Amino acid sequence: MGTFHTVIFADLTGSTGVFEALGNQKATLAVTRLTQLMAQACESHHGDVVKTLGDGVLAVFEQVSDAIAAMVALQREHRERIAQWPPRLVMQIKVGMASGNIVRVDGDCYGEAVNLAARLCDMAAPSEIWATAQVTDAAPLASGVRVRALGPVAIRGMAEAREVCQIHWDGAENTDLLTLPAPLGGPEAPEKALSRINLTWLDVNAAFPAYQLPIHLGRLSDAEFAVNDPRVSRRHARIDWVDNNFVLTDLSSYGTWVRFAGGSGDLTLRRSACVLLEKGEISMGAPFTDFTAPTVSFSLSNGAVSLLYQRKA
């Protein structure tokens, strides 16, 4: 049957660049030290660290409020820690959280909440905390912490979408920007089952229904849409289905540029996100002014949207 706990996965991002900059020995020491600090943040808030995972931590908490407080404190402390670091050495932390019954066996833990927390951690952008609505509904939020509902999100490997939220920990007011770009008004966004995004790069074409999202664009062979160019990061960008919109999030080292058909200018994403409108192009690793930049064309089927926003990721 198991016992009810809140499970967190916390992972470092950006360690590849640190290994390139410092070499294996110094980079390993830096990653190990940060992983230890992540574990200490869990333990200081009554969490039980199940194991460390090279550049990540798996921990469980009996109280939901302790889990949220631990991850908020971890992100805030890490922001102060890296404030003066050279950009090439900065590593961010991303977190996934889920609650449910778990089973402890031989120093490890198992259960749907463990799998769900791991998936949400994979989906989160650097410095983000993603959690199921079950987590955020179960505990009051401390001052300076707020929750943004992302709606039903398809989780790879799970039959049903889950209500997912992003926990904003930086104490800032809601700074999402909403703009109505004429003349792209139209009908309401279609149901998830009917919406899909079509991607094209050179002779590579693929279509992804909304219920299969999120997907990653990147140089990794296991990226759902692979773009084999040295300027493209291993996991360069992610496309999610959020509030009946296709949302592109930049996860890269060098940035992502978006150009909408009929638009008046290019949108630059650097660890930020935007809603994709009808059709356009995505330039990865270099701006559109570089005619050699790897450029992915996109179009939305049954998915015309009327709102554009950009947010810090």
At 192 the pLDDT is 62
Mean pLDDT, to the nearest integer, of 267-274?
Answer: 85
138 with 217, same domain: the answer is no
155 with 44, same domain: the answer is yes
Q: Give 256's pLDDT tier (boundaries 50, 70, 90).
A: very high
pLDDT of 174 higher than 90: no
90 with 235, same domain: the answer is no
Q: What is the CA radius of gyration of the chain?
A: 20
Token pair for 293: 């930049």
Q: Domain tally for the chain?
A: 2
CA distance 27 to 18: 6
107 with 36, same domain: the answer is yes
Range in 54-63, 149-158, 196-205, 241-250 the model is least confident about: 149-158
CA distance 225 to 308: 24
CATH number of the domain where residue 97 is located: 3.30.70.1230
Run of H or E residues at 8 = strand 3-13
7 with 153, same domain: the answer is yes
CA distance 107 to 242: 36
154 with 300, same domain: the answer is no
The answer to whether residue 178 is domain-embedded is no
Choose one of 168, 183, 214: the last residue of a domain: 168
The answer to whether residue 182 is domain-embedded is no
The answer to whether residue 137 is domain-embedded is yes
142 with 33, same domain: the answer is yes
Query: Is 17 strand, coil or helix?
Result: helix
Q: Return the higher-pLDDT residue of 306 and 155.
A: 155
Reported as a single tens digit per residue, the pLDDT across 90-149 is 899 999 999 999 999 988 999 999 999 999 998 888 888 999 999 999 888 787 888 888
Read off the pTM.
0.62
CATH number of the domain where residue 205 is located: 2.60.200.20
Choose one of 168, 201, 235: the last residue of a domain: 168
154 with 275, same domain: the answer is no
Choose one of 102, 134, 168: the last residue of a domain: 168
Reported as a single tens digit per residue, the pLDDT across 186-229 is 344 445 667 899 999 999 999 999 888 889 999 977 789 999 99
39 with 153, same domain: the answer is yes
Gap between the terminal Cα atoms of the chain: 37
Reported as a single tens digit per residue, the pLDDT across 303-313 is 434 333 344 44
Percent of the chain with pLDDT over 70: 88
Residue environment code for 49-73, b if the CB has 16+ CB neighbours within 10 A, otherwise e: bbebeebbbbbbbeebbbbbbbbbb
117 with 11, same domain: the answer is yes
Domain containing 149: what range? 3-168
18 with 163, same domain: the answer is yes
* Residue 257 CA, distance from chain mean position: 18
Asked if residues 189 and 244 have their Cβ atoms less than 8 Å apart, the reply is yes
117 with 212, same domain: the answer is no
